Amino acid sequence: MADLAAAWTAIEHAPQATLAALFAAEPDRLSRFVVEESGIRFDFSKTHLDAGLTSSFVALANAAGLERARDALFAGEAVNVTEGRAAEHSAERGQGAPDSVAHARGFHARMRALIDAIEADALGPIRHVLHVGIGGSALGPDLMIDALGRDAGRYDVAIVSNVDGAAMEAVFRRFDPAATLLVVASKTFSTTETMLNAESALTWMAESGVDDPYGQVIALTANPDKAVEWGVDETRVLPFSESVGGRYSLWSSIGFPIALALGWDEFENLLEGAAAMDRHFRFTPLERNAPVLAAFVDLYYAVVRRAETRAVFAYDERLRLLPSYLQQLEMESNGKGVTVDGVPVDRPTAPITWGGVGSDCQHAVFQLLHQGTHLVPVEFVAAIEPGDALDDAHHRTLLINAFAQGAALMTGKANDDPARAYPGDRPSTTILLDSVDPVRLGGLIAFYEHRVFTNATILGINPFDQFGVELGKEIARSIESDGTDRFDPSTRALIARAFA
């Protein structure tokens, strides 16, 4: 504890030079703060990390037991202390306790066999896939299929999460019920929105004349008994382990629509890309470790400079869903107020993650980033290979804009007219992928997972529970079952007005 406090004190009292001064003082900045791993370039040089601060953060990580925690994570120990279980998403990609890896392989084999059967039309002439799930049971598949599967031409996949019936209706208008596979994805198999959407899909199929709607249903869940009880044939239930958290689950059977849309080989490439990042995280010294350096940057701005948000801009249309994927991963994991020992934290935890797509956002929100009063560390994510066949000018313009924004934030520009001056010295990180492909995206998402874990370990919080989401669900249930008497006047009046 004393080591931890001393390490924080050193960081909080470190001299704060400008980015320009850091570049001038450290000729080796690029070799120190750029990490190339598995076809991804992580450039942290435009942040305020310097050699001294990095050493202090390494001391902090050591005091917080990061390497020990990392070993425990990969050994399948119960690192999710509040729920008394392991966090074994990396076992899904072959990196973890041998038993867990073997277990995951068995589940993957089952998944693959079912995909082979579907491709052989064993469930009928399937062309459409309606995946219902929410949160971690939707965001990962949605991101990956949107990024990689649009031109795969195998199946038309729709992912519906919102309980708003308009979302389901839009798919019903588009899909042929006789050629639709209904995929019900829910770790618990009890989430209200998902189960209601699944029921409506079954009704739509039945009312459209499908003889045996249940014959076209697949369940992806860690609660297989519940799926069978609900009516899914046991042979079409694809289980995954309870120790894989919802927002870490795209590697498990929750990734079924990804494998179906892209093909099994591409799904394996995704796993392999993530596994390479796992190895990087496990075996690279902290000061050259991409997720660890990223966490140092996060902690520096959130804790020392009190930045309340961080922004992620995907300068690639294929990655337009990345910011919303990261919102769940980062905020549901690290938006916590107590430590693993149940004591209130004494420093800010996860900042608010937000963002969008470049260059669109330049013409909407970047004003605040360049001249506003909030400090917002920015992350640019881009790819060297274009995703289109149009004139090179498109991709070139996209990339040049991304790089120009980072340079503008950092250098700023003086002007006698204060309204036209740019203060500069604003930090950014650039993540440049060789291409948007399964291997790189696997690596990218694993990088974010390990960055979240590193942040959490140093802050002493548990990134693997999410009790904060329960109270609202509980109140919604009790409004349905017991009425509104025990609620406040505002809530009672809203309900009365809406349902009068």
Residue 371 lies near ligand F6P (rule: CB under 6 A)? no
Q: How far is the CB of 135 from ligand F6P (least distance, A)?
A: 3
In 3-state terms, what secondary structure has residue 133? coil
Residue 187 lies near ligand F6P (rule: CB under 6 A)? yes
Residue 186 lies near ligand F6P (rule: CB under 6 A)? yes
Q: Give the integer Cα–Cα distance in Å for 488 and 485.
A: 8
85 within 8 A of 243, measured Cβ to Cβ: yes
- Considering only 39, 76, 135, 291, the residue that binds ligand F6P (CB under 6 A) is 135
Using CB under 6 A as the criterion, what x/- string covers residues 391-420 for binding ligand F6P?
Answer: ------------------------------
- Considering only 87, 134, 143, 311, the residue that binds ligand F6P (CB under 6 A) is 134
- Select the span of 4-12, 133-141, 416-424, 443-451 touching ligand F6P (CB under 6 A): 133-141
- Select the span of 129-137, 368-376, 411-419, 451-459 touching ligand F6P (CB under 6 A): 129-137
Q: HSE (CB half, 13 Å, CA atoms) of 127?
A: 8
In 3-state terms, what secondary structure has residue 313? strand
Q: Judged by CB, which is closer to ligand F6P: 145, or 303?
A: 145
Residue 462 lies near ligand F6P (rule: CB under 6 A)? no
Q: How far is the CB of 134 from ligand F6P (least distance, A)?
A: 5
Two structure tokens written together for 241: 């382990």
What residues pair up with 239 in beta bridges, in sequence order? 221
- Select the span of 142-150, 185-193, 288-296, 396-404 touching ligand F6P (CB under 6 A): 185-193
- Considering only 47, 194, 241, 252, the residue that binds ligand F6P (CB under 6 A) is 194
Residue 239 lies near ligand F6P (rule: CB under 6 A)? no
Q: How far is the CB of 272 from ligand F6P (least distance, A)?
A: 24
Q: How far is the CB of 82 from ligand F6P (least distance, A)?
A: 14
Neighbours of 257 (CB within 10 A): 29
**Backbone angles phi and psi of 173, in degrees to 5:** -70, -30
Q: Judged by CB, which is closer to ligand F6P: 286, or 331?
A: 331
The one-character DSSP state at 119 is H
Two structure tokens written together for 217: 């249903």
Q: Judged by CB, which is closer to ligand F6P: 137, or 430?
A: 137
Catalytic residue among 92, 332, 379, 449: 332
Q: Judged by CB, which is closer to ligand F6P: 33, or 240?
A: 240
Q: Give the integer Cα–Cα distance in Å for 183 and 130.
A: 6
Q: How many residues bind ligand F6P (CB under 6 A)?
A: 14
Residue 197 lies near ligand F6P (rule: CB under 6 A)? no
- Select the span of 51-59, 119-127, 180-188, 343-351 touching ligand F6P (CB under 6 A): 180-188
Q: Judged by CB, which is closer to ligand F6P: 4, or 196?
A: 196
- Considering only 54, 56, 100, 137, the residue that binds ligand F6P (CB under 6 A) is 137
Is 336 a known active-site residue?
A: no
Give the CA distances from residue 209 to residues 1, 179, 203, 218, in Å, rounded to whole numbers and listed in that order.
Answer: 66, 12, 10, 19
Residue 466 lies near ligand F6P (rule: CB under 6 A)? yes
Bridge-based pairing of strands 428-433 and 40-43 is antiparallel
Q: Give the integer Cα–Cα distance in Å for 355 and 321.
A: 10
Site for ligand F6P in 75-114 (CB under 6 A): none
397 within 8 A of 369, measured Cβ to Cβ: no
Residue 333 lies near ligand F6P (rule: CB under 6 A)? no
- Select the span of 134-142, 295-303, 353-361, 487-495 touching ligand F6P (CB under 6 A): 134-142
Applying CB under 6 A, the residues found at the interface with ligand F6P are: 134-137, 186-188, 191, 194, 246-247, 332, 466, 469
Q: Indicate which residues carry an active-site annotation.
A: 332, 363, 473
